[in-house]
Amino acid sequence: MTVLCHKGGMIEMPKKRAFMEVLAISLSEDCRFPVLEFFTFLYVVATIFFSNMNFGSGSVVLFQFIKTDEALTFSIIKGLTGFPIFFLLLLITKNIAFGLGNDLERGTMQTFLSYPLTRRMLLTAKLVSSVGVEILLFLGIQVCVLYIMAPYLVSMYVPTIILAYVAALCFPLFITGVALLLSLVLKKGSWGLMISIIMQFAMQILTTIASYLNTASSEIIVKISSVINPIIALDRYYMSSPQHFVQEYFFENNIWSPSFSEAIYYIGAGYVLVLFIFLVAYFYFERRLEI
């Protein structure tokens, strides 16, 4: 399984090789035919469908009230990521639940622990396979479609595009962290998958209801939701700011209009929360999990 090398490479090389072996095994499980091909098809179809909706007659009417190309770029990306990101979350949580979760449930993890890897490196290899590759695939398809539909915006507003995708991916990563932690604690991936899907729908319903209410409590709900899903804060900045929007009557019942710096703070807070959940999962896998 490993080969001892000369001084200086005696420990490092076997670990690198073991890491790549675990990653290759995990990729063969997470990306087996036809799962990855099916989700790739969903990404492409959903992204193209929503791009057509973005440039349809209804959206053109909305675009007339957008003052800046920066806000227009954000609005297009928000439309592109809306439903396709649900498929991304479904694929990632499936990988966590039926990949890592089944490894724990069936005892396969014991085989991986026989490799000369720390538990931290082992979990990292599993996450690169189940989360990292899928996010790169999602972003690749999204950016390609965006460039085909609006090449001028892509070339001129790269920082806005990056910021929008960073904000959009925070919520899926939060749900992924929760699913990971539940799968480790319960040692049953199916529970993590079910709870994460329920959390996603509950979050969307709660945020939508709070957005239509003009009360102090609903403002608090929207702000808390913006920590978990920061694209809400970024959307409220672009779509209710006089700097970017011609008329504010679209948001006449708007309960909260953050500044750009506030939206950035919410994105940062969201990723701090995501980092905390993943650190707890890593700590539990290293120190508490009995396999």
pLDDT in tens, 178-216: 989 888 888 776 777 787 778 877 877 776 676 565 555
Looking at residue 210, its pLDDT comes to 61
Domain that holds residue 254: 14-288
| 79 in a structural domain | yes
- Structural tokens at position 228: 């978990």
Looking at residue 237, its pLDDT comes to 87
Given a cut of 90, is residue 72 above it in pLDDT? Answer: no
Paired with 66 in beta bridges are 245
| 100 in a structural domain | yes
| 96 in a structural domain | yes
| 8 in a structural domain | no
| 1 in a structural domain | no
Non-local (6+) Cβ contacts of 69 within 8 A are: 153, 156, 157
**Residue 67: pLDDT band by 50, 70, 90 thresholds?**
low
Cβ burial, residue 231 (10 Å; 0-12/13-18/19+): buried
CA dihedral 65, 66, 67, 70 (to 10 degrees): 180
| 21 in a structural domain | yes
Non-local (6+) Cβ contacts of 50 within 8 A are: 79, 80, 82, 83, 84
**For the chain, percent of residues with pLDDT exceeding 70:** 80
pTM here is 0.84
**Residue 3: pLDDT band by 50, 70, 90 thresholds?**
very low
**For the chain, percent of residues with pLDDT exceeding 90:** 24
| 238 in a structural domain | yes
- Phi first, then psi: give them for residue 245, nearest 5 degrees: -120, 135
Q: Which of 63, 90, 26, 48 is nearest to 246 (CA)?
A: 63
- Phi first, then psi: give them for residue 66, nearest 5 degrees: -90, 125
Non-local (6+) Cβ contacts of 150 within 8 A are: 73, 76
Max mean pLDDT among 53-57, 75-79, 99-103, 116-120 falls in: 116-120
| 75 in a structural domain | yes
Write out pLDDT tens, residues 10-49: 444 478 888 888 889 888 888 877 888 888 888 888 888 7
Looking at residue 212, its pLDDT comes to 63
CA dihedral 101, 102, 107, 110 (to 10 degrees): -60
Looking at residue 64, its pLDDT comes to 56
Q: Which of 147, 102, 157, 149 is nearest to 126 (CA)?
A: 102
Looking at residue 267, its pLDDT comes to 96
The number of folded domains in the chain is 1
